[in-house]
Structure 1
Amino acid sequence: MMTQLMAALSALAGTLVSLPALAQAPADRPDYWHYGWDWGWGHMIFGSLMMILFWGGIIVVVVLAVRRFGSGPSHGTPPATSRNKALDILQERFARGEIDKDEFEERKRHLSD
């Protein structure tokens, strides 16, 4: 127990001793900002490219999410053919009593041909 306490205190002391070095202003360390043409234009081009790739990736993810999870009655299902629509309408008319069974069967037979 005492060994662990001593180890923790020495780690804390080591951290506290290095804090003044981190608190120096950039003016105290002229190499901090890498003044001059040390780095060249390569880093500016790389940064711009990374920014374009990042935002482009975000936009692509949003577009794909909207397409995938978008709402709509026929989303994700194949469009119905005209024959299926006609049969659906025929069944609805029969269910409402607008046509009788004989007419329903005859029209259904015509649709299936």
Structure 2
Amino acid sequence: MMWYDDGGWGWGAWFIIAMFMVLFWALVIAGIVALVRYLSGAHHDRQSARPLSSDEQGWGSRRAEDLLAERFARGEIEEAEYKRRLALLREHR
């Protein structure tokens, strides 16, 4: 008795269907993750677009002096170079 005619596919059809289902759900999940990252990134960009305070702006900022002091402390620049650059930063403040 022939009740079932698989058309010659056999177990190969089940394997292919399973692979496409895994691929489909992987794409759906990746799309959701990408959407969430995009939306949270857009929100982050709006927060970081705030105006800089006077301490964060330009040549005379405290941050620039702090970076210069760190480089001097690590030995990346000599004392004469440190003093010259520090004077230049304070001059443009």
Structure 2 length as normaliser, TM-score? 0.42
- 1 or 2 for the larger relative contact order (CA 8 Å, sep ≥6)? 2
Q: Which has the larger radius of gyration?
A: 1
Structure 1 length as normaliser, TM-score? 0.36
